[in-house]
Each structure stands twice: as structure tokens, then as C-alpha cells.
Amino acid sequence: MESLNLLILLALAHFVCDFVLQSDRMAVEKIPGRDDTLHWSWWLGSHAATHGLAVALLTGVPLLGLMETSLHAIIDWLKIRCRFTLVLDQSLHLLCKLIWVLLLIKF
């Protein structure tokens, strides 16, 4: 039950980070070529780091937060390059949360 609760918290935190904490400017300027104020990589990196911080705080494992930061940035970059649908994008992000919980169970 504890693992299920953590998975739910991670999913809820994901939606807060992706839709509440991500500003319109960040959503646009994290796209290469649409960056006006900062290089797109700064926008994408800071957005991904928000997710990483949430994972680190909820799991108590900073390394998982770093892994989340990296994978979130890769998935968002691929979404832009490969034109993922929102459903595929969100499914991949939530799959990461499931992987973090499974890693915590295993180790």
C-alpha cells in the first residue's frame, strides 16, 4: 500500500509540475527556435529540474531526482523533435514514476 501511495503522490506532483508550475513562457521557450529571453536548454533544464526536485523530495532519494530530471528533459525534447502526442508524452512521464517506485521496492 505504501508503494501505491508513493506512486499516486508522484503522479499528482507530476501534473502540478507539468501544468501548474510550468509557465506559458517556459512551455514555449523550451522549444528550440522559439526561445527569446534565454537559450531553450535553460528553460527545458529548469522545467525538468522542477520534476526532479519533486521526485527527490517525495522519495527521499536525490539520485532518483537526478534521473527524473534527465529523463524528463529527454522525453520533452523528443516530444518536440518527434511530435509526440500529449497522451504519449504524459504516458512516458508517468511510466518513469512507476519505474522509480519499482526501483525503490527492489532496492
Task: Summarize the confidence of residues 50-78 as an average pLDDT.
Answer: 98
Q: Are 18 and 93 in contact (CB under 8 A)?
A: yes
Q: What is the mean pLDDT of residues 10-37?
A: 95
- How does pLDDT run across 78-88, given as a tens digit for each residue? 999 999 999 99
* Grid cell in block for residue 84: 509526440
Q: Does pLDDT of 20 surpass 90?
A: yes
Residue 28 has pLDDT above 90, yes or no: yes
Q: What is the DSSP string of 24-74?
A: HHHHHHTSTT--SSS-HHHHHHHHHHHHHHHHHHHHS-HHHHHHHHHHHHH
Contact 37, 62 (CB under 8 A): no
**pLDDT value of position 47:** 98
How far apart CA 37 and CA 107 sit, in angstroms, is 42
Domain ranges of the chain: 2-106
pTM of the model: 0.94
